């Protein structure tokens, strides 16, 4: 198999003329990786060699992530648009339902895509989807959400409004991933986040970047779901993960050791093994 970063990037478009870059490799059941708020197609490098022997793997850059050149001209961008993009992409890429593997805002996107186009989805692996309105439904969650809004999102939005993307990205990285050990604080992690500043700015300036998902539809979801979280993740992610788990009543919940919010990059060995075990159990043609 070819290392992910050596693969050629391909390009397609979705409604509105937005370009989407992606890479793919492997054969068999399609598996689509969906990155988080300050990630891009390259975020899944630690998973590539583990999954491409078993799946036709596709990793893409969401609408405002690099190297896409889409212009942000709206203050209403949200997971609803990202999921719409993903559903269109699945129709372009896949003749059969796909496994969706998403982290953070990518997990949020995968969940919403499964709700609006369940026929396109075979199984879900999601890590800490930030459905922020749900945080209010668990003990201490509302206070945690308001503090996160005040101390992280609002301050980063102010930095963006002042044209200081570097400061905004640093604030968001510390507030979302924490200042402890983890891939987010490495030089590569910082560089990736900075080159994808426009993607997180789109959410910071949005009037409703974190809408609630359809609670009844979540409860009715019949797909196999693996919901993971880090053992040292931030309080806001614990609150939203717990709240989401109450609606995904059939989901398997798993804590990944030695990881924060960036589970798949902080501890890829444990994450990869956990996901492959789950998919061997629920995807019959995977051996």
Instruction: For residue range 176-223, list pLDDT tens digits in order.
Output: 988 767 776 777 878 888 999 999 999 999 999 999 999 999 999 999
Task: Tell me the pLDDT tens digit for each residue of 98-134.
Answer: 999 999 999 999 999 999 999 999 999 999 999 999 9
The model's pTM: 0.96
pLDDT of residue 188: 81
Tokens of 83: 């999921």
Residue 244 is part of a domain; what is its CATH number?
3.40.50.1820
pLDDT at position 156 over 90: yes
Domain presence at residue 211: yes
User: Domain count of the chain?
Assistant: 1
Give residue for tokens 């992280």.
152
Give a yes or no: residue 287 inside a domain.
Answer: no
Name the pairing type of β-strands 252-256 and 30-34: unpaired
Whole-number pLDDT of residue 287: 47
Domain span at 81? 4-282
pLDDT tens digits, one per residue of 241-275:
999 999 999 999 999 999 999 999 999 999 999 99
Considering the chain, what percentage of its residues have pLDDT values greater than 90? Answer: 91
Dihedral, 170, 172, 175, 178 alpha carbons, nearest 10: -60
Between 270 and 286, the more confident residue is 270
The DSSP H or E segment spanning 127 is strand 121-127
In angstroms, the Cα distances linking 285 to 36, 54, 119, 163 are 29, 10, 18, 50
Summary mean pLDDT of the chain: 95
Residue 194: CA atoms inside 13 Å, Cβ hemisphere, count?
12
Q: Three-state SS for 217?
A: helix
What average pLDDT score do residues 142-170 get? 96
Q: How far apart are CA 46 and CA 64, in angstroms?
A: 22
């Amino acid at each position: 198999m070819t290392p992910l970063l050596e693969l050629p990037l391909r390009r397609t478009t979705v409604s509105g003329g937005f370009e989407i870059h992606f890479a793919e490799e492997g054969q068999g059941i399609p598996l689509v990786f969906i990155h988080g708020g300050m990630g891009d197609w390259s975020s899944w490098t630690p998973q590539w060699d583990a999954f491409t022997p078993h799946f036709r793997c596709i990793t893409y850059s969401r609408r405002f992530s690099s190297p896409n050149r889409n212009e942000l001209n709206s203050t209403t961008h949200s997971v609803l648009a990202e999921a719409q993009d993903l559903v269109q992409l699945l129709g372009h890429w896949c003749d059969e339902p796909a496994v969706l593997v998403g982290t953070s805002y990518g997990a949020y996107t995968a969940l919403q895509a499964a709700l609006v186009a369940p026929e396109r989805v075979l199984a879900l692996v999601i890590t800490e989807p930030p459905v922020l309105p749900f945080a209010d439904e668990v003990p201490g969650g509302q206070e945690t959400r308001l503090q996160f809004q005040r101390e992280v999102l609002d301050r980063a939005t102010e930095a963006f409004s002042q044209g200081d993307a570097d400061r905004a990205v640093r604030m968001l990285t510390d507030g979302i991933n924490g200042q402890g050990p983890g891939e987010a604080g490495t030089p590569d992690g910082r560089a990736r986040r900075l080159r994808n500043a426009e993607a997180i700015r789109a959410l910071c300036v949005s009037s409703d970047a974190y809408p609630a998902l359809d609670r009844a539809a979540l409860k009715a979801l019949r797909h196999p779901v693996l919901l993971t979280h880090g053992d040292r993740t931030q309080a806001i992610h614990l609150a939203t993960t717990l709240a989401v788990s109450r609606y995904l009543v059939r989901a398997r919940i798993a804590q990944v050791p030695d990881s924060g919010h960036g589970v798949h990059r902080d501890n890829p060995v444990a994450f990869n093994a956990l996901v492959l075990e789950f998919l061997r159990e629920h995807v019959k043609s995977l051996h």
